[in-house]
Structure 1
Amino acid sequence: MTTPRTGPTAADSAATAATAGAIAAEPGTGSARLSRSLVLLLATACGLIVADNYYAQPLLPALAGSLRVSGTVAGLCVTVNQLGYALGLVLLVPLGDLLPRRRLVVAMLCVDAMALAGAALAPGAGTLLAMLAVVGLTGSAVNILIPLAATLARPEQRGRAVGTLMTGLLLGILLARTVSGALDQVAGWRAVYGCAAAAIALLALALRFGLPEPAPAQGRRFGRLLASVGTLVRTEPFLRRRMAGAALGFGCFQLLWTAMPFLLTDQPYHYTAATIGLFGLLGAAGAAGAQPIGRLHDRGAAHAATGLLLLTVGLGWALLAGGRQLLPLIGGILLLDLGVQGINVLNQARIYAYPAAVRSRVTTAYMTAYFLGGAAGASVATPLYDRAGWAGIWSAGLLLTAIAAALWLTDRRAAPPTEPTD
């Protein structure tokens, strides 16, 4: 809270009652409902859904050539996808606190599959950009699934549950670049989006029959629901700090991976799309570290671990200064990916300590900042690379990391309040 209070107000009582009602509406909340098979399904879903946002990255040179556009225009494929995702976080994810989540997720994935099919058939850059914006919009369904898992898990297991889903999500990111590069080499970039459309359609079917349907909170209109997201951001400094750190971290991540294909097709590498896609396998460090890092949250070490991970990101950028040398480049990617993804796992585990009744809206606020930061990083990467080369990329990354470290040094709040303004 931003101001001290001497006793509960009527608004506090109403918020507490709403929270209690929402939790009561989900009988059995706890690990008994979060079976291993459900965790596996949710982790797989997270991976398949988020992969749609990363197929384009190793394809950018191929897209520019095929559609006869500049590298800057091709780079917009990443930007519009991230902006669409951010819009979905604002408009669609809060509905997880209002509507039945299974039906909402399945409907979003059906539209997602159709947009991916449209991208595969796109006759030009304009259509492709429009379809990828819709893919981003509907792909925000992953951020309805993660808070659902956090709600179903016991508090002392929340970090591990979120870490497991994040492992699936990170594997999706990792394999997306590798698979898209390999498919492009064999069958062209359109095959990438055609296969993605089929995978999402099958996932929608699996979630239709495998996902539980907790009762949503009642008694709130959509307009008030969206307005309450702004209220949470305005009144919760703990949330605002997590949002700022998320934006800076994902900005670094997208800055690197959007510029990377252009570096690797230039001297001295001259790599093909398939080889560039293999660099995505370096993200295995982030995927492997997600669950152990989530357990650090459960042990109360989230703040200290965040500091160490920021140092890891900074060391990664320092190694990336040698972008024209392969071994430092690989080492820098490994460290940066581990650091950025680990910080995101800790941030999400921490914000899900907010009451269940507001978790979808807290997710909206956090992930909107996360993907807006990513969209900003992606949007400046190509023009910055064109004007300043690789030195401009790693210099900008170091600056963003330094800002995030300064923010961390002033952050002493271990956990959010248990009764935020709703």
Structure 2
Amino acid sequence: MLRYHRLAWRPSIQAVPQTTALMSTSDSASPAASERSLRGLLLLLATIAGVSVANIYYNQPLLDNFRASFPQSASWIGAVPAVTQLGYAAGMLLLAPLGDRFDRRGLILLQIAGLCVALVVAAMAPSLTVLIGASLAIGILATIAQQAVPFAAELAPPSGRGHAVGTVMSGLLLGILLARTAAGFVAEYFGWRAVFGASVVALLVLAVVIWLRLPKSQPTSTLPYGKLLASMWHLILEHRGLREASLTGACLFAGFSIFWSVLALLLAGAPFHLGPQATGLFGIVGAAGALAAPLAGKFSDRRGPRDIITVAIALVAVSFVVFGVSTTSIAGLVVGVIILDIGVQAAQISNQSRIYALSPHARSRVNTVYMVTYFIGGAAGSAVGAIVWPLFGWVGVSIAGLAFVGLGAWNHLRSPAQPVANA
């Protein structure tokens, strides 16, 4: 059986007990059984991360459908993905830190309930304004994934933390990428409103599994809500590695988002004339990045994360060069997507492996600082894509993506290596 151990109390900037949820075995459980139990929990957490985060990406291959449904508001279509990602950043800031204060299983179930309501509103939206409002709520409540990832870091031993985070992040990336495939397929045959309805069904099924299989977590803080949020500022000031990882991740995700938020518009026009289903199929191609996640985690455990991040930045830069010369080439876009997603995922795993070792008693808050910055970068990428696309076309989008990557590279390379002890 699985249980959690409360470790010794020690003071911190929050003046709360340090607690960790390392996996252990009972007297009757064998190490092999414990390993299987841990693997099963990590797979469940990966599923939670993927199914929940998918909701902020369903709208990206549907932009042309929204434009057809709301022609009088066509100039505001780009606001849907941008607002969704801003909502995700706001949700991480306001909700994700609660994982240090309350049981994560209960938080996950409450957010699923609220997310289902927001999805129903989106499915029934009579205007683009309502859809944008529902998209903001979807973004806020889909931060369920940001409870799953630090949960995995707590469950795993320090020597396997990178691999555990990589396993859950592979589920998250699959959710991001396959969301576009699923949304494109459903919209092609049943309309875009059915996409949000199908997500409600998937979330309700997942909630039942969570209720039956996921154990409760052990809170590590007794701070009231206001002080819990304020303590993140101290973490930012205290840890230079957190600041560096956050900005680098945000720049790479901005490039990732500028590509995916404009791809549907590129494929809808000449010479491709392809619908949302074809756009969604690129998600399957990009799923190669999810296969790199556990490997990136293992290399991060063995070699340290900084070298992996350097290689990842180079891969993302190469992907935008490939995109820039693939304005009329499906094959070029496919190659670029594979390189892009492997690079972004490898950098993400390595960055998170670094930050989770910085402050074990505040993993949810450290994760919040990182991911809020990360998704602000994503929202900036989507917004820039909406501006650059009508003015400069696909080549302009590719150059803008490369500029974001260049900023991330500068931030990463200018910072000295920060040794981080496994905690």
1:374 aligns with 2:378: yes
| Alignment-derived partner of residue 36 in structure 1 | 39
Q: CA deviation at 1:354?
A: 2.6
Alignment match of 2:343 (pick from 339, 349, 356): 339
- Pairing 1:283–2:286 present: yes
1:402 and 2:402 are equivalent in the alignment: no
* Corresponding position of 2:11: 14
Match of 2:161 in 1: 158
- C-alpha deviations, 1:315-366, integer Å up to 9, x for none? 1111111222222222122211211121111111111113331100001100
The corresponding residue for 1:319 is: 322
| CA shift for structure 1 position 16 | 8.0
Give the match's secondary structure for 1:52. helix
In the TM superposition, what is the alpha-carbon distance from 1:72 to its structure 2 partner?
Answer: 3.9
Q: Given the alignment of the two structures, is residue 148 of structure 1 paired with residue 151 of structure 2, yes or no?
A: yes
- Shift in CA distance, 410/62, structure 1 to aligned 2, threshold 3 Å: same
Aligned mates of 2:106, 2:302 — CA distance in 1:
35
Cα distance between partner residues in 1 of 2:245 and 2:72 = 37
Offset at residue 28 of structure 1 (A): 4.8
Match of 1:104 in 2: 107
CA distance in 2, matches of 1:218, 1:243: 23
SS at match of 2:317: helix
List per-residue Cα deviations over 1:97-120 (Å, max 9, x = no partner).
111211111101110111111111
1:296 counterpart residue number: 299
The verdict on how the C-alpha distance between 1:69 and 1:371 changes in structure 2, with shifts beyond 3 A counting, is farther
Determine if contact 2:163/2:301 at 8 Å carries over to the other structure: yes
For 1:195, give the aligned amino acid. Answer: A
Q: Per-residue CA shift, 1:27-85, capped at 9, x if unaligned?
A: 75699486222112111111100110111111000111112245441221111110111
TM-score w.r.t. the length of structure 2 is 0.91
Tell whether the 8 Å contact from 2:22 to 2:157 is kept in structure 1 after alignment.
Answer: no
Q: How far does the alpha carbon of each residue in 1:147-195 deviate from its partner, in whole angstroms, 9 at most, with x for none?
A: 0110110001111111111111111112111111111110000000000
One-letter code aligned to 2:391: R
Distance 1:348 1:17 in 2: 22
- TM-score, L = length of structure 1: 0.92
- Which one of 383, 389, 396 corresponds to residue 392 of structure 1? 396
CA displacement at 1:414 relative to structure 2: 3.9
Contact 1:251 1:374 in 2 (8 A): yes
Structure 2 distance, partners of 1:413, 1:89, is 28
Kept after mapping to 2: 8 A contact 1:18/1:357: no
> Shift in Å at residue 217 of structure 1?
2.6
Q: Evaluate the alpha carbon distance shift between residue 69 and residue 382 of structure 1 in structure 2; reply closer, same or farther with a 3 A threshold.
A: farther
1:64 to 43, 59, 67: 67
The answer for the alignment partner of 1:90 in structure 2 is: 93
Q: Tell me, in whole angstroms, the C-alpha distance in 2 between the residues paired with 1:387 and 1:151.
A: 47
CA 1:259–1:50 in 2, change beyond 3 Å: closer, same or farther? same
2:74 maps to 1:78: no
Paired position in structure 1 for 2:4: none
SS of 1:170's equivalent in the other structure is helix
Further displaced range: 202-211 or 146-155? 202-211
Shift in CA distance, 16/254, structure 1 to aligned 2, threshold 3 Å: closer
Q: CA deviation at 1:141?
A: 1.4
Distance 1:39 1:219, change over 3 A: closer
Q: Mind listing any 5+ residue stretches in structure 1 that lack a counterpart?
A: 1-11
CA apart distance, 1:14 = 2.4
Secondary structure of 1:123's match?
coil
Contact 1:88–1:140 (Cα < 8 Å) also in 2: yes
Structure 2 residue corresponding to 1:213, chosen from 216, 231, 237: 216
Aligned to 2:19: 23
CA contact (8 A) 2:62 2:183 kept: yes
* Aligned-partner residue type, residue 236 of structure 1: H
2:120 to 117, 120, 136: 117
> Of the candidates 355, 363, 375, which is equivalent to residue 359 of structure 2?
355
Partner Cα separation in structure 2 for residue 102 and residue 233 of structure 1: 27
Check the 8 A contact 2:19/2:218 in 1, yes or no: no
Please give the secondary structure, in 2, of the residue aligned with 1:35. helix
Instruction: Determine which structure has greater relative contact order: mean sequence separation of CA pairs < 8 Å that are 6+ residues apart, divided by chain length.
Output: 1
The within-5 A match list for 1:171-250 is: 171-250=174-253
